[in-house]
Amino acid sequence: MLSVEFITLTSIYFLALLSPGQDFFLILRTALLHGYKLAWWSCFGIALGNTLYIALAYIGHETLIQFPFLLPTIELLGGLFLVYLGYILLTAPRPTYQRGIAHSLPSRLKLFNAGFLSAILNPKNTLFYLSILFTIVSPQTALHVKIAYAGWMISLLLVWDMFVAFLLGHQKASKLLDFLYPIQKIIGSGLILFGGYTLFIKLSA
């Protein structure tokens, strides 16, 4: 039977995957210019970068358990950060896209590195993983369960990114971009609601 913790973690993580960030726009550009098969290499790089951040978040979590007075503060900051992400999505202008013509195909290694650097050099990833892992995953959760969560999150990320690349790698896929703006608003509202609920629970405890 699926736990409430797992369902909550999956729901929030999937909402975050739907929200467009720099990784999304890298996949978008690569898929539109070079097709989905080459864009998949960027997806692999992005997955590796996110894996490292999840590992760092877990290490930080285990360390900070020894300082109980820090955990409530980080949980509050995590809730505020999710509200901030939602606000950014709600107030962001309608994105515009341009199709370009690729004159030469980049190497798979170059695309992999581009995806890895996009993920690892994004400071929001640090705050995001700390936010969801501190606010959703209990310190009492067993280590093997946490590892399973990490594997599930990275698998979900990789499958989603590859699916997006597959869709955008087709000429007719550009029509789907019209739906990105309203979806962006819905996701922003969801993140604000969850972050606000987290803040309410922590402040009223």
Phi, then psi, of 155 in degrees rounded to 5: -65, -45
* CA atoms of 90 and 85, how far apart (whole Å): 9
pLDDT at 196 (0 to 100): 83
pLDDT at 3 (0 to 100): 81
pLDDT tens, residue order, the chain (205 aa): 568 888 888 888 888 887 767 788 788 778 877 888 899 999 999 999 999 888 887 777 666 667 666 667 766 776 787 787 778 778 877 755 555 444 467 888 999 998 898 888 776 777 778 777 777 887 778 888 888 989 999 999 999 999 989 887 776 665 666 666 787 787 678 778 877 877 787 777 6
Predicted model pTM = 0.70
Residue 82: Cβ within 10 Å count? 28
Q: What residue ranges do the domains of the chain occupy?
A: 24-93+104-204
- With tokens 């971009």, the residue in question is 177
Tokens of 143: 């280590």
